[in-house]
Structure 1
């Protein structure tokens, strides 16, 4: 009965709208840039239980696993078509020495993770284990190198270890450790957050260091990765400006980080659950700021790199709340609610709009940390609302973006804060279908949306709807499907179609247009 109610709700054709209609017009005749599949990339750092326990349990665990990686988690991530995974950090990357994670696990040194909780780092997950994971996922690898506390020699030897097909000592060491052929290393990052935990550098100093390290990173052409520079965060565009000006021919991409905090204050960020509508809209308003930040950084790239060779890689983003009470503050565990799914969808739509330059993003993080896809507890696993948002948006991977215009988009307001009521994005999928994503940011009111595709007759829309009764609705180990997608469809009348979006909803549909 519960599922039936949701399905009936999803059949949202509205012949006589009760609310002002938002018009969404898709210009299918003028396609834009391809939405790189890596916009849906993931991030796994040695942080809390994000890797150990959450994904890696070791080959000897009673929890079903393959090469030490949990079968349930890997299976769920495969269903997201994860295109790329960034590892080992994050701040952890600039204290990570790659040789510690090679050779027999029993003989690997135990270190202290000084960034995240001061816990022991066993180094059980190293280079070979990471590549086992990405190969099981069918994903590409984005490895972040240690510039902060490492040396050019250490970094260059790691790249050689991973990519060389020669009979060099390092390539033979890789073979001795169980890997005959080179790993497929798609991207290599030179440092992380050099403005902060990666070394407290200035953009000018880092750019000199980047070029110094980069000059020693040599790999065969067939296995050479693309190199990523550590860029800025928030409203700072100087990093993008300096790097793209002074190292334009040395980098394939510049990273950018932005976290959504309800209060906008790092000291007291706001709770992941139990929040009021003022915090709901504050969170959405803060996440929408990334649009202007991307625009400003792209302007610097356009000035220094008019040929558009350099990508802007948003390789850390997502919500960041106060940690859950009773958990290790250094583990960054937070609950994941319907609000997070809406945040994710709003960001996806923004990334699509900037597809020409934004060629990769990596949400923080994959399992048990910050805005996670999956939460585990020993042998149990649940999928979060954010997971479902990612799954609904799979058709946008490598799709061709299409211009979308919104009219009569009535703002959603609470107090002095106002944001657009509806967000939309459209694309022509690799499957040839026209895909449309819609988000209703208002948690209390549905909205009617009239669709138009260049004046052509629309037959129907079919897809999925994600919504919930409460703003902070979330899945638990006792109730694992409180928030999950349900079918959504509507048929046109006279070639015109209007759909009613429920409150606080994410919808992704294929639009059927008559010839």
Structure 2
């Protein structure tokens, strides 16, 4: 199969999506990548077991398969995927899904390799021990065709539970860029949502136990924020509003790009805010019971160095970040892809191949060839390390560092072990990391087990170091496994997922399902707020409800709950609850911020300021803080706009009086280079305003 076909299939969405961004975009801020330099000061790593995150699902580690890959079902490929810990496989392959017809195993306009039919794929998935995820053809197929596929899988006795409707269907030309096949006359999100409902009804009529997923766009990535002509909202809003009651999960893709390896590796900082926005969109638009809808991320890859160490570092960091945020599967693009643009990255030859395993082919002129077929590239080795790091049933917990070039993640195992994954993104210098633990006491008598993946290498057992200090090689992954100081038997179970009620600008009532006692009765519950990687105790109670006070208006809070028994044993942390306080119900001022026109990495904003007081305001100053570091005011009017760091200030025009009951409007152009979380709190002349 020609290598150009491999390359085109993988990059289509990435390149066309980026092109659309450029064509719509005004200038937006760029956060500079951290500068690599020799560091004599140790990196402070904090691991916080009190800050519980998501529990690792059985489908966590995934990768894509494709019908144009001749080696899709071979024993060698399947065994390599099994050895890497792959537990979910997606088929029939990206945009090909919207031209693929399963009955006759054809993809008009594309290439179908021999021995890549559905039965072959399912045999491979069984050999790997992976759950399949199947993409039903929305673009050129029908609901009846998809239902027939479900029937075939059921009649064969296949374990095919997860089905998505289409691939990147927002890329059908509706927003100006067209790479995804779509034969429907109406290419709007409303039409896609109607298709999702029809497909879901037909497929569930055959097998009511399957899970149906709808395609959304990743917040902060094209076409997020865009409203197409004739639409009532963005793609995500329209799809969720119209089809939310009919789906079990949403499916997003994320190609973060970046002009250099260093810049690409910073983009994982977008994950927390992107997942926060996506979850908020689901809860806001998908109707009653939206909490049941889960999230899959079925395509990702790094922007620079996909075969070399940047790909490995990005995979480990991105998979960890996404799983911490409750994504039930993360899937690399893809198993085999083919040679692309050849370059040298951090001293290693990179083939521009978006596959995890070598395809063994050459450039068109034959001047450069990849290693032999199925030679693992660096991301494969990173996935292997991830399978040692996260196991089904583990709880990911908070971890962080004080060095932007070093990332940290941690997971707590049911047997009491704690595993810490350290990522040194400096290509030139090693780092000494000092580790501090909150809510966990590592054993002092036994050295930890350490595995390291260095630049150009494979995972190897590394010098053990200590629980308190590790040496991180340049451009490396280091996995540290620690044992607990004492046996943990007899502790209570973790409390259930907390919920927030009666949320105001200053208070919230947190409640949770009770923990089950262990060896001794439960004495109390402790409620913690995560402030970065540090936990601050908000209060404690003998019951399962606590009202927390003295909160800040318009602020996002993440809280967890632990149970402590009468003998002092402490449970694992609950899963986290994230909520935002509101603006004050009443105030002498009111502010309303509107995103009046969005082009994907910038928008026109309007701020309406109302004087609710009894005294005219002859001079006024409004302030707010951007939630992220990649948002900026680029210009403004009807006032003097300034920004320092993330803090924004607008001062009214001279001699302009805002009378009681009157409203003034000031406007601005903002840029953003990541998820666009809008501010919720505004202060006028030192007074926090209510929502307008």
TM-score if structure 2 supplies the norm length?
0.54
Given candidates 135, 160, 166, the residue that maps to 1:185 is 160
Distance (whole Å) between structure 2 residues aligned to residue 335 and residue 499 of structure 1 = 27
Task: Return the offset for 1:442.
Answer: 1.5
1:102-501 matches, within 5 Å, as: 112-114=108-110, 120-121=111-112, 124-164=115-155, 181-196=156-171, 197-199=180-182, 201-218=187-204, 224-233=209-218, 234=221, 236=224, 238-263=234-259, 279-304=260-285, 308-320=291-303, 336-355=307-326, 358-369=327-338, 370-377=353-360, 380-395=373-388, 396-407=390-401, 409-410=402-403, 420-429=404-413, 432-454=416-438, 456-459=441-444, 460-468=447-455, 482-492=456-466, 497-501=468-472
Moved more, 126-135 or 18-27: 18-27
Distance 2:113 2:452 in 1: 42
Greater share of helix: 1
Whole-Å separation in 2 of the counterparts to 1:339 and 1:320: 9
Sort the Cα spacing of 1:241 and 1:37 in 2 relative to 1 into closer, same or farther, 3 A: farther
Asked if the contact 2:357/2:376 (under 8 Å) is kept, the reply is yes
Q: CA deviation at 1:383?
A: 1.0
- Work out whether residues 24 and 404 of structure 1, in 8 Å CA contact, stay in contact via their aligned partners in 2: no
Closer, same or farther in 2 for the Cα pair 1:259/1:310, shift >3 Å? same
Cα offset, 1:404, TM superposition: 2.3
The residue aligned with 1:269 is: none
Q: Does 1:22 align with 2:43?
A: yes
- Residues 190 and 345 (structure 1 numbering): CA distance in 2 closer, same or farther, change over 3 Å? same
Structure 1 CA distance, aligned partners of 2:148 and 2:238?
Answer: 28
| Residue 122 to residue 498, structure 1, CA distance change in 2 (3 Å) | closer
In structure 1, C-alpha distance between the alignment counterparts of 2:391 and 2:136, rounded to whole Å: 27
Whether the 8 Å contact between 1:37 and 1:397 is mirrored in structure 2 is yes
Whether the 8 Å contact between 1:144 and 1:189 is mirrored in structure 2 is yes
Aligned residues: 397
Aligned partner of 2:91 among 87, 90, 96: 87
1:263-310 superposed Cα distances (whole Å, 9 cap, x missing partner): 3xxxxxxxxxxxxxxx22122123543443223212212334675211
Is the 2:51–2:398 Cα contact (8 Å) retained in structure 1? no
Deviations along 1:71-99, whole A, 9 cap, x unmatched?
Answer: 32222111012111000021101111111
d(CA) in 2 for partners of 1:201, 1:430: 48
Higher gyration radius (CA): 2
Please give the residue correspondences for 1:58-97 in structure 2 after superposition, counting only pairs within 5 Å. Answer: 69-97=73-101
Please name the residue that 1:331 is paired with. none
Alpha-carbon deviation of 1:335?
5.9
Task: Could you tell me which runs of 5 or more consecutive residues in structure 2 were left unpaired when the two chains were aligned.
Answer: 1-37, 172-179, 226-233, 339-352, 362-371, 487-692
Q: CA deviation at 1:129?
A: 1.0
What's the CA shift for 1:43? 0.6
Mapped partners of 1:217, 1:453: distance in 2: 49
RMSD of aligned alpha carbons: 2.6
For residue 148 of structure 2, give the secondary structure of its aligned residue in structure 1. helix
**Residue 30 to residue 296, structure 1, CA distance change in 2 (3 Å):** closer
**TM-score, with structure 1 as normaliser:** 0.71
Q: 1:147 to 1:465 in 2, by over 3 A?
A: same
Q: CA deviation at 1:33?
A: 2.2
Q: CA deviation at 1:402?
A: 3.8
Contact 2:99 2:139 in 1 (8 A): yes
Q: Is the 8 A contact 2:307 2:354 kept in 1?
A: yes
Q: How far does residue 147 in structure 1 lie from its aligned partner after superposition?
A: 0.9
Decide whether the 8 Å contact of 1:374 with 1:387 is kept in 2.
Answer: yes
Per-residue CA distance 1:183-206 (angstroms, 9 max, x = gap): 110211111111110438332221
CA–CA separation in structure 2 for the residues paired with 1:152 and 1:512: 52
Residues 261 and 320, structure 1, Cα contact 8 Å, conserved in 2:
yes
Q: Is the 8 A contact 1:349 1:423 kept in 2?
A: no
Q: 1:151 Cα shift?
A: 1.3
2:241–2:285 Cα contact (<8 Å) kept = yes
Separation of aligned partners in 1, 2:314 and 2:51: 28
Cα distance between partner residues in 2 of 1:349 and 1:427? 10
Shift of the 405–509 alpha-carbon distance from structure 1 to 2, 3 Å rule, reads: closer
Contact 1:35 1:352 in 2 (8 A): yes
CA gap 1:403/1:137 in 2 versus in 1, 3 angstroms = closer
Residue by residue, what CA displacement relative to the aligned partner does 1:370-412 show, whole Å, maximum 9, x if unpaired?
Answer: 43221142874311111111111113032433432435x13xx
CA distance in 1, matches of 2:194, 2:320: 35
Partner of 1:132, secondary structure, is helix
Higher relative contact order (CA 8 A, sep 6+): 1
Q: Secondary structure at the match of 1:19?
A: coil
Structure 1 range deviating more: 312-321 or 249-258: 312-321
